[in-house]
Structure 1
Amino acid sequence: MKILYFSRDYTTHDHRFLSALTKAGEKVYYITLERRGHVLEDRALPGEVEIVSWAGGKKPARLVDGPMLLLDLKHLLRKIRPDILHAGPLQTVGFLSALSGFQPFVSMSWGYDLLIDAERSASWRWSTRYTLNHSAAMVGDCETIRQRAASYGMAPERIVTFPWGVDLEKYHPGNRQDAGDKHFTLLSTRSWEPVYGVDVLVRGFLQAAQSCPKLHLVLLGNGSQAPLLRKMIAEGGAAEKVTFAGQISQKDLPRYYRSADLYVSASHSDGTSISLLEAMACGTPVLVSDIPGNKEWVTPGVEGWLFPDGDSRALAGAIISAFERREQLVQMSEAARNLAERRADWEKNFPELLRAYDIARSHIRNR
């Protein structure tokens, strides 16, 4: 089967999907909409993937470029004649694909497109509905996304829901590294952008650290809030309690999960968070905001805890409570790993994408 895989930019998630598709024996052609300023994935594309040169993928995308990009996309589709056009996020890459008129077209939600972007304005809502109404099938990663897609007119029987999952051989429990009993280590892996609430996390940490001197926070990543976060930590007198570890390679990431006592995320919006699944696969108990996507995974007191979204005071209390109950973390670690094995195994979940392709092809044949 020939697949034209179209994404906004090359990310860690794209690497996994492209690798799995080629491993499954599919012929994959790949294009991106744009190239943004920072590297989102440091691994090379799988060797079997054919990168296609076209009008996009060289610079940040602009609305004014839309007609030119659509014209060239139609040209590519006539040239390649794929069996499936796979595209997402919905309002950018997906919308352009829907406008092309090509079928079978499988749209893939990236979570934020339905949870945030779809509500930006009437035009964003319209493009969301248009894309879904022209999708032969749609892929989403959780029940929250399924319900949101259906509310925009996507036929429920053509929505395929599966957690993107993680590589359980790579992300697995191990002895805590470089830890000992000196610190109680909290780990954040989210980008430093407003939607991920890292500022809320830092506020909660600073409050908790005032009464719990053993706390230590490891912040991975970077982003537009870097100056704000560094200022908050400096003014809070906690510079020695925070490690800014920067952007970490995928190879090194599991080591950080295993070194942490608790994974913390204050994200304001997520479908199924991959970093949450990575933490649980490594047996790291979690403390996350009580948004719908997280509540599909975390049972309070079992794999970890939830706290009210945006409430730094509640987060501080939850951090202190986790520290005081740290003898429970061994059982939580086992529960987190067990849940990951049951529901977050990438090898078991990936074939659902191929099922979505089959649904799309069948729908187009039979309409």
Structure 2
Amino acid sequence: MKKRKILFLGETYRADAITWMNGLQEFGDFEIISWELKTPSHGKFRRVMRLFEYVFAPIQTKKIIKTHQPDMIIAERTTSYGFLAVICGVKLTAIAQQGRTDLWPKKSIYYPLKKIIQNYAFKKATLIHAWGPVMANSMVKAKVNMSKVLVLPKGIDLSKFENINTANPNKICAIVTRSLLPVYSHDIILKAFAILHIKGFNFSLTIIGDGTQLESLKNLSRELNIEDKVIFTGRILNTDLPKILQDSNFYISMPLTEGVSGSLFEAMASNCYPIVSDVEGNQTWLKHRKNGQLIPKNDFKTLADSIIWAFENPSHRNEAILNNRNFIEEHANYKKNMKIIADKYHKLIDANQ
């Protein structure tokens, strides 16, 4: 039987991309070829150079297509890589919206162009992935043909993120696993923990990842006199993450906008109590003071009060983390969900022969 080939367009270092590609290899026996832009997007000059690289991207991808003859193209984002996927000349394309909307930020001078590109990609794609209901809602508003949309998260590997927690129950052992970028509001989290420090609570705060805000956040932790309680790990291997989550009992995330967060799923599977920003993407999975807490954006005082309340109500936390593990096992099981996605691709390819 001929081995099916898929060309993946997107940043291959991202955890979401790795999960997607590995799942297709494991459960669909696909051969994955990949291509991505090489120019970083940080800084005005680099963004201009990246745009210049993108203009010539169709030439590069068409060379890869000619060499490898993929059966299908899949792409992150419904703009950039998604648009590139649908103009490459391969009949079958699957594109994935990565956030609540890929049209971000709204004040960008590129916003009108992005909207045109996205609408074209939506129209031409064979299959559109909405990793959660919040993405599907935005697609409805964009008048997407919803018969082409598959609403299903990739999920997480529950054999890696086991139902184990070894955190000290008498200490607030908090973890943050989002990239150190302005949109994730790590400064709000540090200010909240500064309040806990002033009030005399015993805590440790582990911040995982890298990004443009690293140095400023380290400086802020020093200014707030909590640098000895805050651990910046930098970027780590995804294989190291489960153990660190299991040593934590609180998961904190305060993004300004959210799509479907694999980081949240990983924490929920690992018995971390989630306290996150009250945005649409998080509202899908959490109900306030039912299985976690939803905090107004940029409100570090409420965040601090909420952490204290949860810490002082262990029976609530224990019930919440039990329900969250059950929810993840039912709705965000990587082995089950990626098998569905892989089977869907095979059916599309077989129907196209």
TM-score w.r.t. length of structure 1: 0.85
* Correspondence 1:349 to 2:352: no
Deviation per residue, 1:207-226 (Å, 9 max, x gap) = 23322421321111121111
Query: C-alpha separation between the residues in 1 aligned to 2:129 and 2:213?
Result: 31
Q: 2:238 aligns with which of 239, 250, 260?
A: 250
The CA deviation string for residues 73-119 of structure 1, in whole angstroms up to 9 with x for no partner, is 22332443322111122221111122224311111222265262577
Please list the CA deviations of residues 206-258 of structure 1 after superposition, one character each: whole Å capped at 9, or x if unmatched: 12332242132111112111122112211111122222233222222111111
Give the distance between the partners of 1:79 and 1:320, measured in 2 at CA.
58
1:149 matches 2:149: no
**DSSP 3-state at the match of 2:163:** coil
Are 1:20 and 2:10 an aligned pair? no
Gaps of 5+ in 2: 42-46
Q: Residues of 2 paired with 1:347 and 1:101: CA distance?
A: 31
1:35 aligns with 2:58: no
- Residue of structure 2 aligned with 1:174, choices 152, 164, 174: 164
Describe the shift of the 1:134–1:176 C-alpha distance in structure 2 as closer, same or farther (beyond 3 A). same
Q: Which runs of 5+ in 1 are unaligned?
A: 39-58
CA distance in 1, matches of 2:298, 2:117: 29
Distance in structure 1 (CA, Å) of the matches to 2:48 and 2:341 = 28
Deviations 1:307-329 (A, max 9, x none): 11221121111112112213432
Query: Aligned letter for 2:190?
Result: V
1:54-133 alignment, distance < 5 Å: 62-111=50-99, 114=102, 116=104, 120=108, 121-133=111-123
1:295 to 283, 301, 304: 283
The alignment partner of 1:302 has SS state of coil
Q: Which moved more, 1:78-87 or 1:258-267?
A: 78-87
Q: Which runs of 4+ in 1 moved over 6 A?
A: 362-365
Percentage identity across paired residues of the two chains: 24
Report if aligned partners of 1:289, 1:308 keep a CA contact under 8 Å in 2: yes
Corresponding residue for residue 314 of structure 1: 302
Tell me the residue number matched to 1:162.
152
Number of aligned residue pairs: 343
Whole-angstrom distance in 2 between the partners of 1:75 and 1:36: 19
CA 1:37–1:30 in 2, change beyond 3 Å: closer, same or farther?
same
How many Å separate the matches in 2 of 1:312 and 1:81? 52
Aligned-residue Cα RMSD (Å) equals 2.6
Per the alignment, do residues 108 and 114 of structure 1 end up closer, same or farther by CA in structure 2, a change over 3 Å counting?
same
Offset, 1:63: 2.0
Match of 1:217 among 182, 201, 205: 205
The answer on whether the counterparts of 2:252 and 2:275 sit within 8 Å (CA) in structure 1 is yes
Tell me the SS of whatever aligns to 2:31: strand
CA distance, structure 2, for counterparts of residue 233 and residue 220 of structure 1:
15
Query: Does structure 1 retain, via aligned residues, the 8 Å contact 2:11–2:17?
Result: no
C-alpha change, 1:18 and 1:144, in structure 2 (3 Å) is same
TM-score by length of 2: 0.88
The one-letter amino acid of 1:21's match is L
Deviation track 1:304-358 (CA, whole Å, cap 9, x = no partner) reads 1111122112111111211221343222221121111111110111133235536
Q: Which amino acid letter does the alignment assign opposite residue 129 of structure 2?
A: V
